[in-house]
Amino acid sequence: MKKLLIVLFLLPLFAKAQNEDSTWIVNNYTKKEVMVPMRDGIKLFTNIYAPKNASEKHPILIVRTPYSCAPYGEDNFASHWNAPRKYFLKENYILVTQDVRGRWMSEGVFEDVRPYNPNKKANEIDEASDSYDAIDWLVKNIPNNNGNVGVFGTSYPGFYANMAAHSNHPALKAVSPQAPVTEWFLGDDFHHNGAFMLMDAFGFYSGFGKPRPKPTNVGSSGFSFPTNDNYDFYLKTGALPNFTKLMGDSIEFWKDLMNHPNYDAFWKARNARSNVQDINNNVATLIVGGLFDAEDCYGAWNLYHAIEAKSKNNNKIVMGPWHHGQWGRSDGSYLGNVQFGSNTSEWFGKNMELPFFNYYLKNKGSVDQIKEANIFISGANEWKTFSAWPATNMKMTNYALGKNGSFGLANKVVAKTNDATAYDEYISDPAKPVPYVPEIHSGRTQEYMTDDQRFAARRPDVLVYQTPILENDIILAGPVVADLMVAMSGTDADFIVKVIDVFPDNFENANPTNHVMNGYQMLVRGEVMRGKFRNSFENPEAFVSNQPTQVKFTLPDIAHQFKKGHRMMIQIQSSWFPLVDRNPQKFVNIYAAKDSDFQKATIKIYHGASIIQLPVLGN
C-alpha cells in the first residue's frame, strides 16, 4: 500500500516533467517535411527537427528507416521527450529521419537489403548513393548546420547506417550501426546457419512485405492469426509450402526466401560486410549490439570484425545485456527474470553514444573512455573494457561431454570416458518438437534469450550435460564452438546447442516476475545448425544413416561470468519450435517439403568425441 501511495504521488510529477519536456521541444525546435531528390530523380520523404537556437551552428544526425518517419505533419511532433535519447535535443542536434526508397511516403521501389554496388555509374543507385545524396542535400539546404553529419540506426536502420558509412560523403564524420542487419542466411533474423527462423520470418513479412504501390502514411496490416497459441498454429500449419499459401502471391521477399534455399549469389550479394574496406578512414564507427538480442546476435559482432579486418578506420564496439534495441527504449536493468543491477541503457547513452557523436560532430569532450571493446559481463553485472575482441587473454578451452551427463575439461572427461564410441541418444519427433519456451503465447518473446531452461531439461529429446558445482568464478568472453560427433537414422537433422548457467539451489534474487530463481537454468547462448550445411552453405550434403559424422559450428559470442557455486550446463536437441522451422530429418529441399516428408529420427551424440570449445578469460 505504501508503494502504491508513492506511485500515485509521483505520477503527476512524471506527467508534469513530460509536459515540460514536450513544451520545451515545441518551443525550441521547428519541424519541416521535405522531399529530398536523389541522383536518379526519385525523391525521398524526410523530416527535419531543427533547433531554433541560432547562437551556434549545429550538427546533423540522421536515421534512414523502412519503418516510417511517423508522425507525419509539420505540426505533429514525435515524442522525443519520452525517449532515452532526448539528450540529443538538449545538445541542439538537428535530427533527421528519412523514409528509405520505396517505403511509406518516399518515392521509388523498395528492395530488401539492397545490394551495395561499388562500381556505380551515372545515375545508378544503391543505399550508399541514396545516403550520399541525402547528406549532400541536407548540408546544403538546412540553415545553420555546422557541416558535420552523423548517421545511426538500430536493426534494419542499422543496415542503412552501415550503407551510409560506405557513401564516404566528406561531411560524414561518425556512424553507429546498432544491431545491424548484415547477413540474412548465416546469422541475422531469418536464418541461422541455414536454418529458417520461421516465426520471425512469417510474422514479420506477412505485414512488412506487403506491396506499397504509391507513397502512403498508412501501414499494412499483418497476418490475422486464428489463435494466440503460436506453437499450435505453426505445428498445425505444417510444411513451409502451407505457409506460402497463407502468405499469398504479393509478398516478393517471401518468394525469395523460398526460392533460395542455399547460400547462393542472391544471399552473397546481400552480405553487408563484403565491402567494408570501402569505408573511408575519416569516418569513425561505433558498433552497438545486445548480448541477448533475439533478432540479431550476429550482426554487431560480425560487422565489427569485418571492419577490423578490412578497414583502417576508427572502429569500436559496445555490447550490453540487452534485447533488440533495448538500449534506446528502456533502462536495460533486467531481461525477463534476470537482473543486471543497474540502468545499463543510461550508462551507454551518457558514456558511449552521446560522447561519440559530440566528439566527432561538435568537437566537444573526449572519447578516451570509449575503448576498443566495451563489453558488459552478465553474471558479474559489470562493464569491462578490452584493447581487442576477443581479448588477448582469452583462451579457447576444450570441454567435453561425458558419460552420465557430465561436462568438464576435455583432458579429464575423455580420460574417464575411455571410449570414443560411447554415445547418448534421443528420438527427435517433428510431430512433437521441443518448444523454445514453456508458456503459451502469440508473438516470439525477446526474453527467451535468458529464459529458464528447466522445462527443456525435463524432456527425453533433450540431452543435458553439466559440470560439478564450480569452485571458482569462470568468465567466458568470445565465441563458443560446438564440435559434435553425431549419427542419425535419417539423412538430415538440426542440432541446437545451448550454453546455460545453473544457479545454486539456495539462490535468491528479486526479479520482476517472482519466478523461482533457486536452481534457475539461465540460457546464456543458444544456436542452431542445419546439419546438411555442416561442410558448405552453398552445397548441402545428406548424412549417411547411422554413420558417425562431425558437425562443427560457431555460436555467437558471449560475455558471461559463471560464479562460484553455479554450474555450467550444455543442452543439445534437434528442434526449437516454432522459433526454427522443423527439419523433416531427411535430405530434401525443406522449402518445398510435403507434410508427409517429416519423420522421426534417432539421434546419437558421441560423448568424449564431442567437444565444446569455450572462450575462457584469463586473469
pLDDT along the chain (619 residues), means of 10: 44 47 84 98 98 95 97 90 84 97 97 97 96 98 98 98 97 98 95 98 96 93 94 98 96 97 97 96 97 96 96 94 94 94 96 98 97 98 97 97 95 62 96 97 96 98 98 98 98 98 87 82 98 98 98 98 98 98 98 98 95 94
pLDDT of residue 15: 44
* Rounded CA separation 404/471 (Å): 21
Contacts of 7 by beta carbon, 8 Å cutoff, 6+ apart: none
* Residue 250 lies in domain: 201-268
Distance (Å, whole) CA 226 – CA 237: 11
Instruction: Indicate the pTM of the whole model.
Output: 0.94
Tell me: do 605 and 500 sit in the same domain: yes
Residues 523 and 435 in one domain: yes
The pLDDT, as a whole number, for residue 84 is 77
Last-in-domain residue among 353, 386, 419: 386
192 located within any domain = no
Among 268, 285, 309, the domain-final residue is 268
CB atoms inside a 10 Å sphere around CB 513: 10
Q: Which residues pair with 572 in a beta bridge?
A: 463, 497
| Same-domain status, 422 and 481 | yes
Dist. CA 357–CA 363, nearest whole Å: 9
Q: Is the separation of the CB atoms in 617 and 477 below 8 Å?
A: yes
Q: Is residue 150 part of a domain?
A: yes
What pLDDT score does 174 carry?
Answer: 98
Q: State whether 143 and 220 are in the same domain.
A: no
Residues 505 and 410 in one domain: yes
User: For position 5, what pLDDT does the model report?
Assistant: 41
Classify 46 as helix, strand or coil.
Answer: strand
Which helix (H) or strand (E) segment holds residue 135: the answer is helix 127-141
Cα angle at 47 between 46 and 53, to 5 degrees?
A: 135
Same domain, 131 and 226: no
- The DSSP bridge partners found for residue 551 are 484
In this prediction, residue 413 carries a pLDDT of 65
Looking at the fold, whether 443 and 570 belong to one and the same domain comes out as: yes
Report the relative pairing of strands 172-178 and 145-154 from DSSP bridges.
Answer: parallel
Beta carbons of 241 and 592 less than 8 angstroms apart: yes
Query: For position 423, which CATH number holds?
Result: 2.60.120.260
Question: Does an H or E element contain 257, and which?
Answer: helix 252-259
One domain for residues 485 and 465: yes
Q: Does one domain contain both 262 and 274?
A: no
CB 344 within 8 A of CB 331: yes
